[in-house]
Amino acid sequence: MRIEQQATSAPSEKGALHALGLTAICFGFFMVILDTSVVNVALPAMQHDLHGSLEGLQWVVNGYTLTFASLLLSAGTLGDRLGHKRAFLMGYLLFTGASLLCSLAPSLNTLIAARVLQGVGPALLVPSSLSLISHGFQNPGQRARAVGIWAGSSGIGLAGGPVIGGMLVEMLGWRSIFLLNVPLGLLALALTMRFVSETPRTTALKRDLWGQACVIVALATLTYALIEGRSQGWISPQIVGMFVLCIGATGGFLLIEMRHSTPMLPLHFFSAAAFSMPILVGCILNFGLYGVLFVLSLFFQDIYHYPAALAGVALLPITVATGSTALLSGRITARLGTRRPMIGGLAAGCLGTVLLLLGETGNTIFLLMAGEIIIGLGCGMTVPAMTTAILNTVPRSQIGVASALLNASRQVGGVLGVAILGSILGSLSERNAFLAGMHSALLLVALLFLLGGVLTSIT
C-alpha cells in the first residue's frame, strides 16, 4: 500500500545520481556514524588533558547523541521545506565547523558544548541523505542498491571507529579525531555542490512550530532519562520528572498533529502497515544491535579481562558483518522486495543472539564469534530493506520527514537497548551476578528479534 500524496510537486527526471554525488552523500553518513564510535577510545586522553570528571566525559559522548536524536524529526521536515540538498549542505557545514571547535576546545565544558552543536549536523544530514538518494535514483532497483551502499557506509563507520580513533590518538593526540573531519568535510561539501541536484521543495506551508517543540522535548527528556536513570536512580525525582515530561510532551505532540492543517508528522502515514512496520523494525534492530554491543563490550573486559583495544577487536565480527552485508543486501532487496529480507534479517538476529547465549553459558569464544557474525549479517540485511520500504511508501515531498522518523526510531531503539539491558545486568564486580544478568538481557534481545520477524511476516 502506498500512502497517497497530499501536496507535492513531482521531481524532474534527470537520470541517476552521479557516482561522485552518491559518494559524497554516503561519506557524510559514514562520518556521522564514525563520530559516534571514534570518541570512546579517546576519553582517557581527554580526561588527562582537560582534567575532566567521569560525568563530564559521559556528556562528551551523550551530548552528540542527545542532540542528534532530538532534532531528527524536525530536521527532516526542514529538508522537505528548504530542499534536501540545502539541508544536507547545512548539516555538513555545522558538523565540520563544530568538529573544528571540538579540536580547539580549551576545557571539557567547551568540548561538551561543541559536541552538542556537532549533533545538530547529523540531524540535518542523515534524513536529507536518504531523500537525495531517493530523488537521485528513479529506478526502484537502482535505488535499492544505492540504499544498500548508504547503509553499508554506516556499518563501515561503526566498525572503523575504534580502530581509526585508537591510531589517531596514539600518533597525533585526541584532538586529531575531530580535526580530521575538517578537510574531509570540505571535500565532501565540494562534491555535493558539484554533483548533487536539489530536490523539489514543498509549497509554503504553515509551520508546525509547537509540534516541533513537543517532539524535541519528548525525545530529549526520554533520552536524558534513559541515559541518566541508572546513575541517578530510576525512581529519583529528576528521572521520574523527565519521564512525566516526556509523556506530556508526547501527548501534546499527538494532539497538535491531529489538529494542525499541515502537521510535521502526518499521522495517516501509520495507517499503512508498509510504513509503520519498518519504523518498529528499526527500533527493534537498534535495540538489539547497540544493546548487544554494549553488553559484549562489558563482558569481554570484565569477564574475559581483555584490554580495551582487544575488546574492540573482539567486536569486529558483528560490526564488519553489518557493514559488509549492507553493501551487498541492496541487490537482494532489489530482487526479492523488502519484506523477505526484513524477516530473514530479524530471524538471523534471533539465531545469532541464541548462539551468544550458548557461548556465554559454555564460555565458548567460537560460539560468541559465530553469534556476532550472524547478528551482523541479519542487521546488514535488514537496514537497506526497511529503509527502501519507507522510501517506497511515502510521497516524495515527505520523504525527509519519513526517513527522519525511521532514523529517530533507530536512535531511540539504541538508547533503549543500552539503558534497559544495562539495567538488567548484574554487578560488574560479581561474576555470577553479571553473567545471570547478561543471560536475561540476551534472552530479551532474542525474543524481540523473534517478535519483530513474526510481526513482519503477518503484516
- The parent domain of residue 293 ranges over 266-459
Q: Are residues 102 and 213 in the same domain?
A: no
Q: Are residues 259 and 169 in the same domain?
A: no
Q: What is the pLDDT of residue 142?
A: 76
Mean pLDDT calculated for residue range 230-242:
87
Q: Which of 313, 393, 421 is nearest to 130 (CA)?
A: 393
Mean pLDDT calculated for residue range 401-405:
75
Task: Confirm whether 9 is domain-assigned.
Answer: no
Q: How far apart are CA 138 and CA 11, in angstroms?
A: 10
Mean pLDDT calculated for residue range 335-351:
90
Q: Which residue has the higher pLDDT, 401 or 190?
A: 190
Q: What is the pLDDT of residue 373?
A: 94
Q: Are residues 190 and 220 in the same domain?
A: no
CATH of the domain at 374: 1.20.1250.20
- Considering the entire predicted model, what is its pTM? 0.74
Of 39-43, 48-52, 65-69, 340-344, give the lowest mean pLDDT range: 39-43
Task: Confirm whether 10 is domain-assigned.
Answer: no
Q: Are residues 327 and 185 in the same domain?
A: no
Mean pLDDT calculated for residue range 214-222:
82
Q: Is the pLDDT of residue 53 over 70?
A: no
273-302 and 339-362 helices cross at what angle (nearest 10)?
Answer: 20
Q: Is the pLDDT of residue 368 over 80?
A: yes
Neighbours of 187 (CB within 10 A): 12
Q: Which of 278, 49, 267 is nearest to 172 (CA)?
A: 49
86-134 pLDDT tens trace: 888 999 999 999 999 999 999 988 999 999 899 899 888 887 887 788 7
Task: Confirm whether 360 is domain-assigned.
Answer: yes
| Concatenated DSSP letters of 355-404 | HHHHHHHHT-HHHHHHHHHHHHHHHHHHHHHHHHHHHHHS-GGGHHHHHH
What's the structural domain count of the chain? Answer: 3
Q: Are residues 36 and 141 in the same domain?
A: yes
3-25 pLDDT tens trace: 444 433 333 344 456 778 888 88
417-433 pLDDT tens trace: 877 777 777 655 577 77
Task: Confirm whether 384 is domain-assigned.
Answer: yes
Q: What is the pLDDT of residue 58?
A: 64
